[in-house]
Structure 1
Amino acid sequence: MTGLPRTELLPGHPVARARDVDEAHEAVTRTYLPHRLEVLDRAIGLDMRLNAVRVGAVTAGYLRYGSAVRLGTVDAGDYHVNIPVAGRCEQRCGSGEPVFAGPGRAAVFMPGHPADLRWEAACAQLCLMIDRHELELELRRQLGRPLGERLRFTTTMDLGTPAARSWLEVLALLEREADRPGGITHHPAAATHLQSLVITGLLLAQPNNYSDHLHAPAALAPPRALRRAVELIEDDPGRPWTSGTLAREAAVSVRSLQEGFQRWFGLPPMAYLRDVRLTRVQGELAAADPAGTTIAAVAARWGFLHAGRFATAYRRKFGVLPSETLHGRHAAASGHRARRWPDAACRVRV
């Protein structure tokens, strides 16, 4: 139901294995934040497991205690989301109503409020911590303006909505790639994009006091902003661009930039960036010496880290496989064509 496996997550990133309360407390404090830990059933010994990975501003950890416990925290400094992958946990943010998290339901915690959690013995959760500054910065990018008030989420998360299911797929990707040798979380450009997907996905999936603005139709970015974004991509496609960083450089909101790209180019900014990168890969492979060149190395240099998906995208664009280009077979037309800008005074190659 959650899109995440009901087994131990992130096994390649162990932080602690503890039967001692003090050791378990210290590990969770070091990874997340200061808290109190109380074992509620002394007859069942503690068997704590914590695996965790950090991807930019996002900390993702698998946590279970193996015994019924109660946790209490001081006012949190960041945003947290706890997603049960087994069992149930009663969780409360500040003075709000308790969230009975379990299959299909997660709990969201805001900075500036204490938390109180009662874990069942069989409960295990994927615990996310998202840096407050980065989350609010992404929100400002999406809106294209300063925030009028602090971001507040609804504390109960319904994991069955289409938006939540899509977000869980992003988390599942993060979990898989973190444990894959050479996975995308180990590459700065891809990790930056994955962090952005996690943060933006939460903003769109979980109701909050800015949801009406986030889901309202966005104005098209003006031609000058689109030109600026295209110039940035064409001049430095290897940079770890996200829709947010492009929007900031173009001085528009993320949604305006996305609407503008979709209107004039028929694809979102990140798809445009991928298209440019594919063209750069094609150019390198066509000019390279097959004896001293590996396709994987060239693709990785341009941000393509999954061989199968890269080969599929390359063939769709050029009509041949990357290996055929490397060994001299002429590629099909790349699909670049002139696009008329709204002011008709400037053309751009796509």
Structure 2
Amino acid sequence: MTAGTVYSGPHWQRYATTDTDQAHAFIRRSLIDVNVRFSGEGPDGAGLRTVFTQLDDVGVNRMHYSARTQLQTAPAGDLIVTHMMSGRYAAARGKDEYLLRPGDVVLILPDHAVEVDFTDIDTFNVRLPRGLLEEVASAQTGISGADLRFDSPRPVSARLGRHWIQTVSYLTRTVLSDRALMANPLIAGQARHLLASTALAVFPNTGLDAQLRHPGEVTSQALRRAMAYVEENTDRALTVAEMATAAGVRPRALQLAFRRHRDTTPTQYARRVRMERAHRDLQASDPTTGATVAMIATRWGFTHLGRFSTDYRAVYGTSPSHTLRT
């Protein structure tokens, strides 16, 4: 699949300008508010070229900017993760300076002003809203939104930095390449939460160290309430926080209860239920009327057909296509 194919479709918008002020205005609109200290245009002016889209409240863009620019970011609250593909990019906060090489990822700290100096950059940027990060961090660790902080632009490790790149690349080539998938609330919700969970795992933050000393006990009745809520809302992208609210317990406590009593997680349980619904649809559908495995899998939030087929065979002992035919 070529880069042009990845960024094709009406849901991907394009913008280009050689005017410096317009280029800076675009950066402020799509990424983060900045105070420009210096901008040295090349022979073609600012040389900004970008393609961008929205996955609900998550912003994604591929941007090439040729001008030499020095700026200071303004604290925004939202999280911006940049994958450096080429060019020169340096970020500094106080005495801590981080020089990116092609292939590196960096976090523009959401709660701090950061000095940035770049020249002729090609980057892939993801902007995650603060509310989404707080929701996912609370469900995973129990930390409150006010206590969630990111203090370093560097990934925890080079391996986790590569994991971020692989996750974004996978979503770009699957969900973000298909307007219908992006419009599917179940799939869009899963993609948003995957990005937030990955960011929380990749970059140092207070949620990584959060420990709940007393997550609370979950009764069998509360666990059944959570499971019933999943059964009734399988067509939506459910969060652990929603399931916990329905059960009347804390998210962390619900996670521990699922592991202790069901040997799974709330998210994995919801996926299992969606697999069951897909199985029922495959049994009830007639391929001669145009029904396909891909259509049914997508309906229940499974975007990777090969992985769906593998998991389906592991559960039911046959392929989804065989179930549909018979």
TM-score of the two chains, using structure 1 as the length reference: 0.78
Q: CA deviation at 1:221?
A: 4.7
Q: CA deviation at 1:168?
A: 3.0
Identity across the alignment (%) = 26
Q: Larger deviation: 15-24 or 71-80?
A: 71-80
Instruction: Tell me: CA distance 1:159–1:173, structure 2 relative to 1, closer, same or farther (3 Å).
Output: farther
Instruction: Tell me: CA distance 1:240–1:158, structure 2 relative to 1, closer, same or farther (3 Å).
Output: closer
Residues 118-137 of structure 1, C-alpha deviation per residue, up to 9 Å, x if partnerless? 1022x222222221222223
Indicate the residue corresponding to 1:268 in structure 2: 265
Q: Equivalent of 1:11, from 3, 7, 18?
A: 7
Using the alignment, how far apart are the partners of 1:217 and 1:258 within structure 2?
13
More helix by percentage: 2
Q: Is the 8 A contact 1:143 1:253 kept in 2?
A: no
Using the alignment, how far apart are the partners of 2:312 and 2:113 within structure 1?
50
Q: CA deviation at 1:65?
A: 0.8
Q: Aligned pair 1:98/2:97, yes or no?
A: yes
Mapping for residues 5-154 of structure 1, pairs under 5 Å: 11-12=7-8, 13-37=12-36, 38-40=38-40, 42=42, 45-93=45-93, 95=94, 97-103=96-102, 105-121=104-120, 123-144=121-142, 146-147=144-145, 149-154=146-151
Q: Aligned pair 1:185/2:176, yes or no?
A: no
Instruction: Tell me: CA distance 1:310–1:220, structure 2 relative to 1, closer, same or farther (3 Å).
Output: farther
CA-based RMSD of the aligned residues comes to 3.2
Q: CA deviation at 1:258?
A: 3.1
Using the alignment, how far apart are the partners of 1:165 and 1:222 within structure 2?
40
Mapping for residues 239-278 of structure 1, pairs under 5 Å: 239-278=236-275
Indicate the residue corresponding to 1:284 in structure 2: 281
Indicate the residue corresponding to 2:315 in structure 1: 317
Q: Larger deviation: 123-132 or 153-162?
A: 153-162
List alignment gaps of at least 5 residues for structure 1.
329-350
SS at match of 1:158: coil
Instruction: Tell me: CA distance 1:128–1:325, structure 2 relative to 1, closer, same or farther (3 Å).
Output: closer
Using the alignment, how far apart are the partners of 1:223 and 1:62 within structure 2?
48
Q: Larger deviation: 25-34 or 185-194?
A: 25-34
Using the alignment, how far apart are the partners of 1:320 and 1:245 within structure 2?
33
Q: Is the 8 A contact 1:105 1:156 kept in 2?
A: no
Q: Is the 8 A contact 1:142 1:214 kept in 2?
A: no
Residues 110-162 of structure 1, C-alpha deviation per residue, up to 9 Å, x if partnerless? 444333311022x2222222212222232222233635x44221223137444
Using the alignment, how far apart are the partners of 2:217 and 2:104 within structure 1?
36
Residues 226-281 of structure 1, C-alpha deviation per residue, up to 9 Å, x if partnerless? 22221112223222113343234334444443333233223332322222222222
TM-score of the two chains, using structure 2 as the length reference: 0.83
Instruction: Tell me: CA distance 1:160–1:144, structure 2 relative to 1, closer, same or farther (3 Å).
Output: closer
Q: Is the 8 A contact 2:157 2:202 kept in 1?
A: no
List alignment gaps of at least 5 residues for structure 2.
none
